[in-house]
Chains A and B, each alone.
Chain A
Amino acid sequence: MDTHAAYKSRWLPWVLLAPTFVILLAFLYYPTFETFKLSLYRVAFLGLSKKFVGLANYKELFTNPDYLHIFWNTAVFAFFVVLFSMAAGLALSVLANQKVSGWRVYRLLLIWPYALSPAVAGVIFLFLFNEQSGIVNYLLSITLGITPGWLTNPKLAMALIIFAAVWKNVGYNVVFYIAGLQNLPGEVLEAALIDGASSWQRFWKITFPLLSPMTFFLLIINTIYAFFEAFPFVDLLTKGGPSDATNILIFNIYRDGFEYYKTGMAAAQSVILFVAVVFLTIMQFRLGESRVHYGS
């Protein structure tokens, strides 16, 4: 951490950090603490009244098979979303980074889903993948003669929301990977070229390691995305169905909290989600920081 620490001022760093501290404390830490506190209560209507129940909510979460099923769904979903988003993002950014004509247009068209509101994205996917009259099944029926039940089949439904979440997020990875690729020191790549290395070797032995700071960053961000930001897709495409097959934690938290007004349970689930992601992030830092090459 201190590799670049060149300055010795005792007070300046704290001044620089002050706005961040104040805002994060007041608007993130404090509300989070208040929210987590509610997990120890049985709450009615978003907090209009509450009764202390200790760990009852947590007990329910860990003994009710329905909730355990949700934890599993969440893990599966997150794993695939992170994997595919990063892989596709890397591949597409390498492609989009090539010096071909019209690169501006290509890049824009690859990144635009990121700008689309998730709610609208969900609606469009719903129309696209309608089993009877959607375009995807129309094309599949005239080319392959099949009409999969995207939303009626539990496995396909999960595949669909994974695809939708990846599709929406790939642009984010492309933006950053391109920024990373543009930052690569030109002479290292030229040297490899002169050495006669094939593009594949060049990529994996040189480019990818040099991109590792970006990969590290994106891995964390993508993990956060997969756990916290996929709510609209489930809400608009499957509502957690069929029969809870696509119910992931963030969706259930939202539904328990804002539709069923089981605010205490929603808070307990939020705590669990928080702890799980913190744990994952710590792991990523432990494993990652040592492998990341910071160029200098």
Chain B
Amino acid sequence: MKRLAAILGLSVLMSFSFAAEKIQITFWHAFGGGRTAFIERAVQDFNYTHPGIEVKAEYKGSYRDTLNAAILAAKQGNAPHIVQIFEVGSQMAIDSGIFVPIEDYVPAELKFQLDDYIKPVANYYRIGGKFNSIPWNSSNPILYYNKDIFKKAGLDPNNPPKTFNEVVEACKKIEATKAAPKCITWPLHSWFVEQWVAEQGALLANNENGRAARATDVYVDSEAMKRIMKWWKGLYDKGYYAYTGKPEDWDGANQLFVSKQAAMEITSTSDVTFMQNASYENGFELGTGFLPVPDGIERNGTVVGGASLWLTKGHPQKEQEAALTFLLWFTNTENMVRWHKGTGYFPVLNTSVKVLDWQHWFTRNPAYKAAFDQLLQSKANRATQGALIGPFPEVRTIIENMVQEIFQGKDIAKALAEADAKADKALKDYNAAVAK
């Protein structure tokens, strides 16, 4: 009897200690809205199928708020394990010194997954030859357009404009037939400018876009930029391009297009699901096409947008590996398919793309096809790899302010030169601040 009690007692004790054995991982992200629930369910799934690990996901506000909270927590020695950081924050994340390259902690049996990322995505997040972070939500800019307005204007609803001039031509027709009050809109965001620079095969910074070595010069005053600004200003002056006035106003642009005040909108592929629903509700047929590019150039490809997941330093090896186990599970083939279907973001693994193809997903959801094809057809070079610039947020604001000044009448060459000087100064100050 005593023996039984002892064994029972011991097993209870051991089960308690096993329960206490669970590795606790914290994961901070910036996904509000319906995504939070989606992430919650995935996390529960993981915890259930991986009894030794418990992941806790916390919403931490916007991208900016999430990064700030993480830095402040790290300063106190209490950083969360996993942090979602926006793509142009990559150089800042590296320079902050609070993160470690994830590739160093990938368990051996999961290393294969790193080879499965689709090329453009892998290119972006491979820095110095290894993955610093796990790609998660990746997006591209595409052209959405209102097929009904096109028909009314006498344009071919299945043939959206593919170049700058074609956009202007389409706008002429739309204005002439009064098919819509405005022709085209997109948020006044530097992201689009960066995409058009990449499409022309041009670089945004020296040292091979900041990829071969730290960038010390930003290329704002370039031919590629000039081309973009000339076209954009032309559209604005003729009243074809409309925007709300607020920089980076994603909702404002959506509002213009969904309310049929504009015939076309260029915005992120992460909005495909929303666009499909909204166009259906507001009674018009939605079309999607590639990002229009300057005439006379060969389409080079786009840069991946979105965010990735970083690992903070200062945790024991076991915890790091557990965090990586979660990250790789979270972004594995099946989960990426589910993520794409639920949110519209790219499934960033080749195998996921194969699964979706096999399920005839794209034939049944043609709106997603343009997004995909554009990304997969992007050439792999420094331009599409995307620039690594430390003070990227500040440079973006400099470019956006410049565009607004150009709209208000400033001479393009002068505006570009002044913005270039400002951006270079910002970069110089940044590099001085983070120099060891």
A and B directly contacting (CB within 8 A): yes
Residues on the B chain within 8 Å of A241, using CB: 245-247, 400-401, 404
Check A201 for interface membership: any CB of B closer than 8 A: no
CB of B114 within 8 Å of the partner chain: no
| A contact residues around B397 at 8 Å (CB) | 239-240, 255
Query: What is the CB-to-nearest-CB distance from B309 to chain A, in angstroms, rounded to a whole number?
Result: 19
Select B68's contact among A46, A127, A151, A157, beta carbons within 8 Å: A46
Contact A48/B71 with A132-B261, A133-B256, A243-B405 known, Cβ cut-off 8 Å = yes
Contact A45:B71 (CB < 8 A) given known A157-B245, A237-B246, A244-B401: yes
Q: Are B246 and A46 in contact (CB under 8 A)?
A: no
CB of B393 within 8 Å of the partner chain: yes
Segment with Cβ contacts to B, from A175-183, A188-196, A259-267: A259-267
Determine the distance from Cα of A243 to Cα of B405 in the docked complex, in whole angstroms: 6
> How far, in whole Å, are A133 and B401 apart by their CA atoms in the complex?
24
Rounded to whole angstroms, the CA-CA distance of A241 and B75 in the bound complex is 33
- Segment at the interface with A among B91-99, B101-109, B292-300: B91-99
Across the interface, name the chain A residue whose C-beta is closest to B260. Answer: A133
Q: Is the C-beta of B381 less than 8 angstroms from some C-beta in chain A?
A: no
- The number of inter-chain residue pairs (CB within 8 angstroms) is 106
Main SS class of interface, B = helix
Q: Are B64 and A239 in contact (CB under 8 A)?
A: no
Distance (Å) between the CB of B214 and the closest chain A CB? 14
Q: Is the Cβ of A258 less than 8 Å from the Cβ of B245?
A: no
Q: Which residues of A contact B405 (CB under 8 A)?
A: 243
**Within the assembled complex, what's the spacing in Å between the Cα atoms of A244 and B95?**
28
CB within 8 Å of A: which of B67-113? 68, 71-72, 74-75, 92, 95-98
Count the B residues whose beta carbon is within 8 Å of the partner chain — how many?
44
At the interface with chain A, which of B159-167, B311-319, B322-330, B426-434?
A: B426-434
Given A46-B71, A130-B252, A241-B400, verify A261-B92 contact (CB < 8 Å): yes
B432 to chain A, nearest CB (A): 7
In the docked arrangement, what's the CA distance between A176 and B394, Å? 41
Q: Which residues of B contact A153 (CB under 8 A)?
A: 245
Closest-by-CB residue of A relative to B403 is A243
Could you say which residues of chain B place their CB within 8 Å of the CB of A244?
Answer: 401
Q: Which residues of A contact B182 (CB under 8 A)?
A: 132
Whole-angstrom distance between the Cβ of A263 and the nearest chain B Cβ: 9
Question: Contact partner of B261 among A48, A133, A157, A260, CB < 8 A?
Answer: A133
Alpha-carbon gap, A255 to B142, bound state (A): 29
Chain A residues near B243 (CB-CB < 8 A):
152
Q: Which residues of A contact B244 (CB under 8 A)?
A: 126, 130-132, 151-152
Give the distance in Å from the alpha carbon of A260 to the alpha carbon of B95 in the complex.
13
In the complex, what's the smallest C-beta–C-beta distance from B368 to chain A, in angstroms? 27
**Which residues on the A side are within 8 Å of B262 (C-beta)?**
132
Is B391 engaged at the interface, CB distance under 8 Å to the other chain?
Answer: yes
Q: Is the CB of B64 within 8 A of A46?
A: no
| Partner of B408 from A131, A238, A243 at Cβ < 8 Å | A243
B259 located at the interface, meaning its Cβ lies under 8 Å from any Cβ of chain A in the complex: yes
Q: Which of B236-258 contact A (CB under 8 A)?
A: 242-249, 251-252, 255-256
The answer to whether A239 touches B246, judged by C-beta atoms less than 8 angstroms apart, is: yes
* Given pairs A47-B75, A261-B391, 10 additional interface contacts (CB within 8 A): A44-B95, A45-B71, A45-B92, A45-B434, A130-B256, A132-B255, A238-B245, A238-B246, A242-B408, A244-B401
13 contacts between A and B (CB under 8 A): A45-B95, A48-B74, A130-B252, A130-B255, A131-B242, A133-B259, A154-B408, A241-B400, A243-B402, A244-B401, A255-B397, A260-B393, A262-B429
B residues with CB within 8 A of A: 64, 68, 71-72, 74-75, 92, 95-98, 181-182, 242-249, 251-252, 255-256, 259, 261-262, 391, 393-394, 397, 400-402, 404-405, 407-408, 426, 429, 432-434
